[in-house]
């Protein structure tokens, strides 16, 4: 069994950027690494198909091997393809694959174990599982009571079940043959060929497909969704003296070791850490006060690994630069009383 990640297009929904699958996530890993991170698959079972222009401009093959190791198989196409089925077909032809395979989109992630199953399937989820999702760029399936797919439609909501971008095929030769057949007929369609068309054609030919529910689905198909993903986690530089703790002094009372905590500020900071944000404390205290400061933070249930000591008493500024891979303003500042009633909202910049 192999997992094919097709990256043979020009990422038209991410204009003016490097290929979307190469964009760094919050943790610095490329999107494509996050796309397969929740799958039960070894890296030597991965086949990634990229464009020659991306390899030459971004050293893509070296980057992919640095991400997944030398065992990953990389197919390089000379020209962009017109559709995902074309990319997959050219990948199958280039590799001579004869074993079952999963086609996995590069711009989303989901958890799935036991990928290699004795039947074809479409990985899916229910619209009812999400509060906010773009239903217009999905394919939808309708199943019978046993989960066998009766119909599949592109961008037409025929049930609550939508494809999450994972399609499992038992027979590569059958896939290629049907693609070539549909390619000949495409002139009469006047639209892009989708993987859902391949599956619909197989179903009409008597080849059954089942539905396969996944968990922990995240979608980055558009720039707006990728932006939302990046903004889920951030970095907070939080002043210890006067915000987390009452302001102390190295020479006069109250001294650093004697000051009390601002409980609301401590509580909101704990919440930010629990949500996955990184917190770096800054302090006017000297480095010699590290031990007592770390003890104070530990007693409050706060991490003490990131503290910048010896900060001057003056104005603090964060300077950043715009970049197309970070499609939002990346630096905000806030001066707020730690007893502010709306502190949690203000610190998340929600108002």
End-of-domain residue from the set 215, 230, 245: 230
The reply to whether 215 and 301 lie within a common domain is no
Phi first, then psi: what are they for 201, rounded to 5°? Answer: -65, -40
Q: In this structure, how many other beta carbons lie within 10 angstroms of the beta carbon of residue 213?
A: 15
Whether residue 29 is found in the same domain as residue 114 = yes
Q: Are residues 117 and 224 in the same domain?
A: yes
Is there a single domain that holds both residue 301 and residue 253? yes
Distances (CA, A) of 286 to 40, 250, 303, 329: 48, 8, 18, 33
Same domain, residue pair 305 and 189: no
Q: Are residues 118 and 265 in the same domain?
A: no
Query: 46 and 168 share a domain?
Result: yes
Q: CATH number, domain at 309?
A: 3.40.50
Query: Which tokens sit at 336?
Result: 């707020």
Answer for the pair 6, 84: CB distance below 8 angstroms, yes or no: yes
Q: Are residues 152 and 251 in the same domain?
A: no
Q: Which residues pair with 153 in a beta bridge?
A: 140
27 plus 75 within the same structural domain: yes
Rg (CA), the chain: 26
CATH number, domain with residue 99 = 3.90.550.10
Q: Closest Cα partner for 326 from 219, 232, 231?
A: 231
Give the pLDDT of the chain (351 residues) as one tens digit per residue.
Answer: 999 999 987 777 787 788 999 999 988 899 999 999 999 999 999 999 999 999 999 999 999 999 999 999 999 999 999 899 999 999 999 999 999 999 999 999 999 989 999 999 999 999 999 877 777 789 999 999 999 999 999 999 999 999 999 999 999 999 999 999 998 876 666 678 999 999 999 999 999 999 999 999 999 988 888 888 888 889 999 999 999 999 999 999 999 999 999 999 999 999 999 999 999 999 999 999 999 999 999 999 999 889 999 999 989 999 999 888 888 888 889 999 999 989 999 998 865
> Domain of 166?
2-230
Of 230, 258, 288, which residue constitutes the final position of a domain? 230
């Amino acid at each position: 069994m192999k997992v094919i990640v097709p990256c043979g297009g020009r990422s038209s929904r991410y204009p003016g950027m490097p290929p979307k699958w190469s964009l760094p996530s919050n943790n610095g890993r490329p999107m494509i690494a996050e796309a397969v991170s929740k799958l039960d698959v070894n890296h030597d079972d991965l086949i990634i198909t990229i464009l020659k222009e991306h390899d030459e401009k971004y050293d893509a093959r070296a980057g992919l091997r640095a991400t997944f190791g030398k065992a990953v198989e990389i197919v390089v196409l000379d020209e962009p393809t017109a559709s995902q089925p074309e990319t997959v077909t050219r990948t199958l032809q280039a590799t001579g694959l004869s074993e079952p395979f999963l086609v996995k989109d590069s711009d989303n992630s989901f958890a799935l174990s036991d990928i290699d199953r004795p039947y074809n399937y479409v990985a899916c989820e229910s619209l009812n599982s999400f509060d906010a999702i773009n239903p217009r760029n999905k394919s939808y399936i309708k199943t019978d009571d046993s989960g066998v797919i009766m119909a599949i439609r592109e961008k037409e909501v025929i049930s609550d079940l939508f494809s999450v971008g994972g399609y499992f095929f038992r027979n590569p030769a059958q896939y290629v043959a049907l693609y070539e057949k549909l390619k000949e007929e495409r002139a009469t369609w006047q639209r892009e060929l989708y993987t859902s068309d391949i599956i619909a054609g197989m179903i009409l030919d008597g080849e059954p497909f089942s539905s396969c529910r996944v968990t922990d689905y995240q979608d980055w198909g558009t720039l707006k969704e990728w932006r939302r993903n990046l903004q889920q986690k951030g970095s907070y530089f939080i002043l210890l003296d006067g915000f987390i703790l009452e302001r102390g002094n190295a020479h006069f009372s109250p001294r650093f070791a004697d000051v009390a905590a601002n409980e609301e500020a401590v509580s909101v900071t704990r919440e930010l850490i629990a949500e996955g944000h990184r917190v770096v404390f800054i302090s006017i205290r000297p480095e010699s006060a590290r031990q007592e400061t770390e003890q104070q933070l530990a007693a409050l249930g706060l991490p003490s690994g990131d503290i910048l000591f010896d900060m001057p008493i003056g104005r603090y500024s964060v300077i950043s630069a715009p970049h197309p891979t970070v499609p939002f303003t990346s630096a905000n500042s806030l001066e707020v009383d730690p007893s502010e009633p709306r502190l949690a909202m203000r610190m998340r910049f929600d108002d």
